[in-house]
Amino acid sequence: MTFHREGKGIIATTVLLVLAINVILYYTAPVWLFYAILPLTLVFLYLIVQFFRVPKRNITQEDGLVVCPADGKVVVIEETEEGEYFKDKRIQVSIFMSPLNVHVNWFPIGGKVSYSKYHPGKYLVAWHPKSSTENERTTVVVKSDSGTKVLFRQIAGAVARRIVCYAKEGDTAEQSKEFGFIKFGSRIDVFLPLGTEIKVGLDQKVTGSETVLAQLPK
């Protein structure tokens, strides 16, 4: 397991902060206060470090399959109107990421990035119905070699305050390879063509780059 480049500065800063707090308490505070604060600071450091972990994965790559773009829990499976790019009916599948999940994001299909746009916005809780259209978010569309387009959207939440997206229009998207990172909890919406066979269920826990999300129509 390695640590994500987006977290190296934060991890280093946290280590220095925790070290400084405990050194100051050790020399200036009552002994009981030092031993009360020490485990709290170590737990905080652990949470920061584990948040930016990048575990090894047995990635799934297969034409016609849509792979989960993130770790988390499936919170939405419904037919809805996608109003930013397609402007028609699509099947939406949403994955909620808690602060304890790995927060790397992976391409759900391979092909060419035909659309990528960042939208500044609010920081409503990630499960709020309006978070998909009002929160800070980045929308990416990938067109597969067969011509099918899949849209996926990184959405910031009440805790997440920075979305990182490396996918640019014209880039080659490799299925199950990293395209972005969301800091400190949020969700990803995936919009699929009608007729797609969904392979996950509500409240199912999924693993990014491994769990098959759907089978695209032929």
Between 8-28 and 31-51, two packed helices, what is the crossing angle to 10 degrees?
180
Strand partners, 156: 186
Instruction: Please pick, among 94, 132, 186, 209, the residue that the annotation labels catalytic.
Output: 186
Q: In sequence order, which residues have a C-beta less than 8 Å from that of residue 196 and are 6 or more positions away?
A: 66, 91, 214, 215, 216, 217
Q: In sequence order, which residues have a C-beta less than 8 Å from that of residue 111 and are 6 or more positions away?
A: 142, 143, 144, 145, 172, 173
Q: In sequence order, which residues have a C-beta less than 8 Å from that of residue 84 and are 6 or more positions away?
A: 117, 139, 151
Strands 178-183 and 197-198: unpaired
- Cα(191)–Cα(1) distance, rounded to whole angstroms? 31
User: Which amino acid, one-letter code, is at 72?
Assistant: G
186 classed as catalytic: yes
**What residues are labeled active site?**
186
